[in-house]
Amino acid sequence: MNFIRKIRGVHSDKDEAFHSLMKNILGYNPKKIAYYKEAFTHSSLKKEDRKGNAINYERLEFLGDAILGAVIANYLFKKMPSADEGTLTQMRSKIVSREHLNELGKDLSLRNLVRSNIPQQNFGENIFGNLFEALIGAIHLDKGYSFCEKFIYRNVIEPYVDIERLEGKITSYKSVLIEWCQKNKYKLKYQVYEDTGNDTHKHFSVKLILNGEIIAKGRATSKKKAEEIASKRAYYKNQHLINT
């Protein structure tokens, strides 16, 4: 071990490798690398600081979610001067949807950077979006709001946000079906008919019942996801009626 490595510490090679990866992803040199390490630390490691506070990406995820929402809201406010509050809220929801954030996290291969006691294959799809939000939080703490805003414009708004396309995008098929049923006085019901698996791999199965008839089913790791899957299938099955 040479003198320089003794000064930097025994983990210098790993630190330098992580620093290099972050520079490639961010396009700049991070000032405080500790923020970015926290952004990719899973709670399963049970890391704590000297005061006993947990060190993992969940708090940064909360911060990043707020910063991302604020930047997108400001962009839409300026870009859509004639839109009312409801329209602006819907558009923001489409841009920062879990599905979209997961895609952003996948594009950056963020899951490969996670330090965890859980195998990668056991993570759900939402890990990608969670990490992306945590990364936004780390950038904000490291470089400030203005710099973070530029990063979001460069990596989210400019390459992915198309106002005309998003105006026609459905973010909740369940909401569309409920509105359609209320308009036509149809009876809509979601019924859980299966709850299987152990605690880490539990699945829920849902029947979508319209006027007493089962028209679609969905299965996922949560009731909400299963209902949305069933709703999407029902929507496309009845699209010719819903859109008339």
Does 130 score more than 60 pLDDT? yes
User: Global pTM?
Assistant: 0.68
pLDDT in tens, 45-78: 999 999 999 999 999 999 999 999 999 999 999 9
Specify the higher pLDDT residue, 99 or 201.
Answer: 99
| Position 5 confidence tier, pLDDT thresholds 50, 70, 90 | very low
Residue with tokens 């990596």: 155
Residue 167 is predicted with a pLDDT of: 67
Catalytic residues: 65, 133
Does 11 score more than 50 pLDDT? no
Residue 164 is predicted with a pLDDT of: 75
Does 197 score more than 70 pLDDT? no
In whole angstroms, give the CA distance from residue 91 to residue 164.
10
Domains and CATH numbers, the chain: 3-167 (1.10.1520.10), 173-242 (3.30.160.20)
Does 2 score more than 50 pLDDT? no
Token duo for residue 54? 């947990």
Residue 228 is predicted with a pLDDT of: 85
